[in-house]
Structure 1
């Protein structure tokens, strides 16, 4: 069986470069090379396998813009509300904790 995985990868990278689309390469599984692509409002994970097969995961933004409160809420949730956040007003932290409680309940 002829292996076309590398050729497909190179062709795809050349297309991205021709279109001036930014990408990075990663290697997370033994038999694949992943191309991470970021375009406006989307992120793609394109995996090229040794056998020539290709898998694509596409992540699309909802378009919602979140601010500092969302970031603080998120940090508090992922760190079990044990994070010390310097230079952030206590009222914002309290609001974020309430939001975190709402998210996890």
Structure 2
């Protein structure tokens, strides 16, 4: 199955600056094997040392989170769109106090 995969900016240097690539496979696992075959090194950015998808990487098939489907065994079909979305964290912790709490 030919499927378009959207590549996030931090990984585009591995896909020759392409924001979208076409790969083949019946499920996410096969798509990512083909993605690694076409763009060596991308697998290390998606998987940890144990071979599991990194926790901060979110994968969507047509806007459906694969964690609510069959994870890497989630099937794809021709024309589907897969998005790789890195989780974004940041900012700071803000603690709010009531004015009455601050009086000594």
Same fold (TM over 0.5): no
**Could you say which structure has the greater relative contact order, defined with CA pairs below 8 angstroms and 6 or more residues apart?**
2
Decide which structure has the larger Cα Rg and report it: 1
Higher helix share: 1
